[in-house]
Amino acid sequence: MPVGTRATVKAISPEELKELNTEIILANTYHLMLRPGEKTVEKMGGLHKWMNWDRPILTDSGGFQVFSLNQKEGLVKIDEKGVEFRSHLDGSRHYVTPEKAIKIQQKLGADIIMAFDECAPAKSSKEYFTQAMRRTHNWLTKCKKTNSKSKTQALFGIVQGGTYKDLRIESAKFVAEQNLPGNAIGGLAVGESKKKMYEMIETVIPHLPEEKPRYLMGVGTPDDLLEAVDRGVDMFDCVLPTRIARHGTFWTNKGTHHIKNQKFKNSKNPLQKNCDCYTCKNYTSSYLHHLIKENEIFGHRLMTIHNIHFLLNLMHKIRETIDKGTFPTFKKSFLSKYKKKQ
Amino acid sequence: MPVGTRATVKAISPEELKELNTEIILANTYHLMLRPGEKTVEKMGGLHKWMNWDRPILTDSGGFQVFSLNQKEGLVKIDEKGVEFRSHLDGSRHYVTPEKAIKIQQKLGADIIMAFDECAPAKSSKEYFTQAMRRTHNWLTKCKKTNSKSKTQALFGIVQGGTYKDLRIESAKFVAEQNLPGNAIGGLAVGESKKKMYEMIETVIPHLPEEKPRYLMGVGTPDDLLEAVDRGVDMFDCVLPTRIARHGTFWTNKGTHHIKNQKFKNSKNPLQKNCDCYTCKNYTSSYLHHLIKENEIFGHRLMTIHNIHFLLNLMHKIRETIDKGTFPTFKKSFLSKYKKKQ
């Protein structure tokens, strides 16, 4: 899922997203509840109509942002009922409960909505991780109840538990037992090593039902997608392809590159040979080097298109090779080329 | 002509420009000679190929920017042969002569290129304006000679002379005598009153041949276009529609509006009713209010599309009503609605 934090996938249009075969996008409850407010979005007919996007949308619950954008300043107060935090925009106070997080998401109107969870800071004690996980489970029950009458919005639960195997197993079992339409793994890709992240995925996956989507939140890089799919993950979201694009970083099958590098100044080549994205079919690296150096908006768009195309195309190939039974070979071959040049 | 200063019309694509029926765009020699340098553009096959635009391009000569971007700091040294200036980007020294300005434009490869002129500061004495004008004429002769063998690039001369009628007439006569494929009026819209600008246009026009394009440089607003066309002008360029768009200002037939205005927060209306641009057909003012308040790139694109559409549509109607013989009525009717709400 490309990320459209504020109801727009930065730098590109809904039509471009469709041309890239985007099937679903993510929008952020935290940002939208603060500005323009969920009531405005509801009045305007909901997210789909407002942003001119008629394919699926997933909204996160705001839990992750409440903690990650506020924890440094100690602006978050947590109790069993919910979380008080200050807006990172204007310092205004807000109190979000699991019930409220669901009601906000109901107003936004996404197709998939997420449970309100506590994403404990990475440096917390195991005791705290246990406490936060149990609170997350308690909140999940409340979210489920609040959304029980909805016939249009599918609620996904979120597994927490930090990097503790026993907590992750306890959490996965609890979330799976709720029998929701999909299950997510939260609290990873927050600073732990890749090895540890893969280990946690391996720990959790066997306890989440195979017939329902398993969604790894906030991931990731091309190699992370391959490794996570290999371990049983079906869905991802990440700001990476769009965010790095605007700074001039792009992916090819040989790894990560920076368009501002002087070697691209006079290059007539596209970002990647044989790539069939709009950017590669119409523009040279020289032109993109110029646009990004000059901070031109059209450069942001062109780089974003390439990176989303690269990642969605990778996912397409992953699905294709899984169907054919050649995924292990594809993964090995992709990673050997991709990592060589990084 | 929408302006593509650095070989990109800010925030929109060549395809979008075509959808807006853009027939020709302008690019800036000054910016492109400094970065990436005309040699890079030439190596890449020229502006058209580099920026993926197969319709006409006009490049200015760099004269206006050399003076306007540098005069405040007194970084410009002028002699009869040319101008020494420092780059506003890195302070590097450059010396541009009329011959060099043409050679740079030949490398950039636009279809219409402009003579190198001196645009004297508005506060100069009449004596200085006379001196600058004669130098501009002298340089025009050199530009013409330098471009004499070109079969693909049409050179336009530029009338100068400040706001002095006698100088403007002398300049217009001299420029017309060069028998170039088109003639431009420079040095206006630089701070003088609208009344004075219209007066200067009226002074100059009778001396420029009617059968060749008469181009008013750096103009302008919807009312300026109408007034200038009424006085015999055929061509314009201006950063206004694209620049104000990125700050949330847009035009309708009722005047100028600001999308950040609170009244648009919950408005389901398009920017202008019955407007058939992509923005108005697909997005509400509420969504655009949100995007511009959040400084979202897609907002810049959508507002830019509307403003260019508005201005090109106005020019289309102007041509249509001239053909029908109803231009005076159209002008009067447009201006009475447009100014009322400003």
Does residue A90 carry a catalytic annotation? no
Distance CA A13, CA B286 (A): 17
Query: And the tokens for A266?
Result: 């006079």
Question: Mean per-residue pLDDT for A296-308?
Answer: 98
Distance CA B183, CA A339 (A): 58
Of the candidates A9, A50, A268, the beta carbon closest to that of B44 is on A268
For B161, residues 6+ apart whose C-beta sits below 8 A from its C-beta are: B129, B133, B167, B168, B169, B170, B171, B187
Per-residue pLDDT reduced to its tens digit, A100-153: 999 999 999 999 999 999 999 888 999 999 999 999 999 999 999 999 999 999
Long-range contacts of A50-53 (CB under 8 A, 24+ apart): A50/A7, A50/B284, A50/B286, A50/B287, A51/A4, A51/A7, A51/A8, A51/A14, A51/A27, A51/B287, A52/A14, A52/B282, A52/B283, A52/B287, A53/A14, A53/A17, A53/A25
Return the bridge partners of A58, or none: A26, A112
Return the bridge partners of B185, or none: B159, B216
Of the candidates B8, B13, B40, the beta carbon closest to that of A286 is on B40
Asked if the bond preceding B206 is cis, omega within 30° of 0, the reply is no
- Domains of chain B (ranges; CATH) run 14-237 (3.20.20.105), 243-340 (no CATH)
Of the candidates A11, A40, A294, the beta carbon closest to that of B297 is on A11
Quick check: A200 pLDDT over 50?
Answer: yes
- Cross-chain residue pair A13–B284, CB shorter than 8 Å: no
Of the candidates B11, B35, B284, the beta carbon closest to that of A297 is on B11
Q: What is the pLDDT of residue A122?
A: 87
Looking up tokens 């954008």 gives A69
- Cross-chain residue pair B290–A36, CB shorter than 8 Å: yes
Taking contacts as CB-CB distances below 8 angstroms, the residues of chain A near B268 are 44-45
Question: Which candidate, A249, A31, A96, places its Cα nearest to that of B295?
Answer: A31
Return the bridge partners of B26, or none: B3, B58
Q: What is the pLDDT of residue A71?
A: 64
Distance CA A169, CA A186 (A): 13
> From the CA of A233, how many Å to the nearest CA of chain B?
31
Q: What is the pLDDT of residue A261?
A: 98
For residue A297, give the amino acid letter: I
Report DSSP state, residue B61. -
> From the CA of B284, how many Å to the nearest CA of chain A?
7
Question: Which candidate, B227, B218, B220, places its Cα nearest to that of B241?
Answer: B220
Distance CA B271, CA B259 (A): 8
Within 13 Å of residue B246, how many CA atoms lie on the same side as its CB? 11
Sign of the C-alpha dihedral computed for residues B278, B282, B284 and B290 taken in this order: negative
Considering all CA atoms of chain A, what is the largest pairwise distance in Å, rounded to the nearest integer?
A: 60
Per-residue pLDDT reduced to its tens digit, A160-189: 999 999 999 999 999 999 999 999 999 999
> From the CA of A286, how many Å to the nearest CA of chain B?
8
Under the banding of pLDDT at 50, 70 and 90, the label for residue A342 is very low
- Residues B173, B204 contacting (CB under 8 angstroms): no
Q: Which one is predicted more confidently, B244 or A77?
A: B244
Quick check: A238 pLDDT over 80?
Answer: yes
Q: What is the pLDDT of residue B131?
A: 97
Distance CA B98, CA B63 (A): 9
* CA triple B109-B112-B117, angle to 5 deg: 105
For B73, residues 6+ apart whose C-beta sits below 8 A from its C-beta are: B86
Distance CA B75, CA A120 (A): 57
Return the bridge partners of B93, or none: B86
Q: What is the mean pLDDT of each run of 10 residues along chain B (342 residues)?
A: 98 98 97 97 98 98 82 79 89 94 98 96 94 98 98 97 98 98 96 96 98 97 97 97 98 97 98 98 98 98 98 98 98 90 50
Angle (deg, nearest 10), helices A297-324 and A285-293? 130
The torsion angle over the Cα atoms of residues B215, B221, B225 and B231, rounded to 10 degrees, is -80
Question: Computed over its alpha carbons, how large is the radius of gyration of chain B?
Answer: 20
Question: Which candidate, B31, B67, B61, places its Cα nearest to that of B215?
Answer: B61
Looking up tokens 């655009």 gives B288
> From the CA of B3, how many Å to the nearest CA of chain A?
13
Q: What is the pLDDT of residue B300?
A: 98
**Count of residues for chain B?**
342
- What does the buried/exposed string (b/e) look like for B206-220 if buried means 16 or more CB atoms within 10 Å of the residue's CB? ebbeeeebbbbbbbb
Question: Mean per-residue pLDDT for A48-62?
Answer: 97
Question: Mean per-residue pLDDT for A151-158?
Answer: 97
Tell me: ipTM over 0.90: yes
Distance CA B213, CA A289 (A): 36
> From the CA of B287, how many Å to the nearest CA of chain A?
6
Taking contacts as CB-CB distances below 8 angstroms, the residues of chain B near A291 are 6, 8
Statement: the pTM of the whole predicted model exceeds 0.90:
yes
Of the candidates B43, B52, B268, the beta carbon closest to that of A44 is on B268
Does residue B90 carry a catalytic annotation? no
Question: Which candidate, A92, A204, A82, A238, places its Cα nearest to that of A146?
Answer: A82
Chain A residues whose C-beta sits inside 8 Å of any chain B C-beta: 6-13, 35-36, 40, 43-45, 50-52, 265-266, 268, 282-284, 286-287, 289-291, 293-294, 296-301
Residue of chain A whose alpha carbon sits nearest to that of B8: A298
- Cross-chain residue pair A287–B7, CB shorter than 8 Å: yes
- Cross-chain residue pair B266–A299, CB shorter than 8 Å: no
Q: What is the pLDDT of residue A88?
A: 82
Taking contacts as CB-CB distances below 8 angstroms, the residues of chain A near B286 are 36, 40, 44, 50
